[in-house]
Amino acid sequence: MEELTHFINGKRVADTSGRFADVFNPATGEIQARLPLATPAELNAAVEDAAKAQIAWGATNPQRRARVMMKFGQLINENMDKLAECVSREHGKTLPDARGDVQRGLEVVEVCMGAPHMLKGEFTDDGGPGIDLYSLRQPLGVVAGITPFNFPAMIPLWKMAPALASGNAMILKPSERTPSTSIMLAELLQEAGLPDGVLQVVNGDKEAVDAILDNETIQAVGFVGSTPIAQYIYGRAASNGKRAQCFGGAKNHMIIMPDADLDKAADALVGASYGAAGERCMAISVAVPVGQETADRLIDKLLPRIEKLRVGPYTAGEDIDYGPLITAQAKERVLGLINSGIDQGATLVTDGRDFSLQGYENGFFVGPTLFDNVTPDMEIYKQEIFGPVLSTVRMDTYEDALQLIIDNDYGNGTAIYTADGDTARDFAHRVNVGMVGINFPIPVPLSYHTFGGWKKSAFGDLNQYGPDAFRFYTKTKTVTARWFSGIKEGGEFNFKAMD
C-alpha cells in the first residue's frame, strides 16, 4: 500500500502525526493508499515557513513570476497523461474526462502568464495642482486553498495559479480522497522555478481546515465544496478577519422549450447529467420541458441514449462514458435519494440501483437513473444528488419554468434550449443564476472570464479565476503624490506658487 506525503518546503515530507485516512480505488472498493493528516502544529509550521518564503517571492517582479507560470504550463502539457492517470486512479473518472480536468486548470495557468497586465494599477495625472494619484496591487501574503475531490487538478490550479502569480505564498489543502495530483502539481511548479516554501501542500481533515481558518498569518481562504461547509468556512474566516471566497452546492436546471432541437437537447442532457457520474457542481440534474408534448418527446429521446451509456473503470478504455462514485458512502447516499424519489411518487424511468460489473462488484458504481414527474417538494429535487441521476420536472409554460429556477435555493448554472432569440435573451436577463447557457449545457466560462454562482451556491464578493481572482488575491494601495520642484525665484522656493 502506498504511503502518501505532504509537500513542504520543496520536498515530500512523511507523516509525524500518526493520524491517517484511507484513499480508496473507487472502481474496486479497495484501499490503495494511506494519507497523513496534519496536526494544527504541522499546519502552522508550514504557514510560518511559507510566510518567510513569500517575502522574496512577493518582491519578485510580476514578469518573472509570469515566466514561472509559462514554464509550469509547459510542464503540465508535457505531463498531461501522467496527471490524468493520477486523477483517474484516485477519483475514478474516465481518462478523457481526467484530461479535461487538467486542461481546464491549465487554461487558468495560461491566463496567469499575463500577470503583469492583470496586476497593473491605475494612474491619474494632475488630479490637483502638481498632484498625481496612482494605485498599486500588492500581494496579501500567505493565502490558503481548500479544494474538493471531484476536480483534483482543475480546482487546485484555479486556486494556486492566480494566488502565486499575484505574489502570494499558498497553503493548499486538497481533498483527503484525491490528494496525489496536488503533490504532482507542486513538484512541477518547483521544477518550473517556484522557490521552496511558496507552495505548501498540507493534507488533513477538519482539524487542518480549522487551523487554516484560525491562523492569523493566513489572509484569505478559497474553498470549493458543499454548501453547509462553504457557509461554515465563510463565516469562520470572516470572523477571523480573512477574505473568503467559498463555492458550494448546486441544483442546475435546463429548460427545454417546444421549439428546441430535441435531439441536440437530449444529447446535451445525457452528457451534462451523467458525465463524471454526475459528480460536478455544474452538472445538469433537472430537465424542465415546457409542455406535456415536449416532455413526452424528450423522454423518448433520452431513453435510447441513456441505455447506450457505458459504465466502468477508467482502465477499461477511452470509450467508457463514466466511472464509479468516489466512496461507498457517496453511493449509499445516492441510492437512498433514488429510493426516496420512488417513495414520494416520482416515475422511475431507468433504474441504476442494481448496476453491477463483473470483476468490480465491490466498486462504487451506480447506473444511469432517470426520473419523470418529479415535483419541487420531493427530496430528489431539493437536494444536490451528486450522482448519475436526472430528474424531469414538467412545466406548462415558460414563465412557470423560469419561476421554478428563480425560486430554487441554488444559483450555480442553468441552461435553456430554444430556437427563439427573444426567449433566450429574456431568460439570460431574468434568471437569478451566476452562469447561463443558451443551447449550451454546461456554461463554465472560459478562463479569461470568471466562474461563480449566486444564492446558496457561493459566499463572498469575488469569483474564481479571470480578473476577479487577481482582485481577490491582492490588496489595493492608492498613493497621492505631490513634488515640490523647479518653482524658484532668486534661488529660493516660491511657496505661494505651490498653493
Q: Where are the domains of the chain?
A: 2-248+457-480, 252-438
Note the pLDDT of residue 215: 98
CATH 3.40.50.1260 assigned to domain 252-438? The reply is no
Note the pLDDT of residue 467: 94
Give the homologous superfamily in CATH for domain 2-248+457-480.
Aldehyde Dehydrogenase; Chain A, domain 1 (3.40.605.10)
CA distances to 62, 284, 358, 402 from 265, in Å: 45, 12, 33, 17
Q: First vs last Cα of the chain: how many Å apart?
A: 77
Which residues contact residue 479 at a Cβ distance below 8 angstroms, ignoring those fewer than 6 apart? 133, 134, 135, 136
Which residues contact residue 98 at a Cβ distance below 8 angstroms, ignoring those fewer than 6 apart? 83, 84, 85, 87, 88, 91, 153, 314
Catalytically active residues, by annotation? 281
Considering the entire predicted model, what is its pTM? 0.94
In this structure, what are the phi and psi dihedrals at residue 109, rounded to the nearest 5 degrees?
-60, -40
**What cell numbers appear for 346 in the block?**
416520482
Summarised one tens digit per residue, pLDDT across range 211-236 is: 999 999 999 999 999 999 999 999 99
pLDDT in tens, the chain (499 residues): 899 999 999 999 998 888 999 999 999 999 999 999 999 999 999 999 999 999 999 999 999 999 999 999 999 999 999 999 999 999 999 999 999 999 999 999 999 999 999 999 999 998 888 899 999 999 999 999 999 999 999 999 999 999 999 999 999 999 999 999 999 999 999 999 999 999 999 999 999 999 999 999 999 999 999 999 999 999 999 999 999 999 999 999 999 999 999 999 999 999 999 999 999 999 999 999 999 999 999 999 999 999 999 999 999 999 999 999 999 999 999 999 999 999 999 999 999 999 999 999 999 999 999 999 999 999 999 999 999 999 999 999 999 999 999 999 999 999 999 999 999 999 999 999 999 999 999 999 999 999 999 999 999 999 999 999 999 999 999 999 998 865 554 445 454 544 4
Residue among 260, 221, 266 nearest 239 (CA): 221
Note the pLDDT of residue 297: 98
Summarised one tens digit per residue, pLDDT across range 344-401 is: 999 999 999 999 999 999 999 999 999 999 999 999 999 999 999 999 999 999 999 9
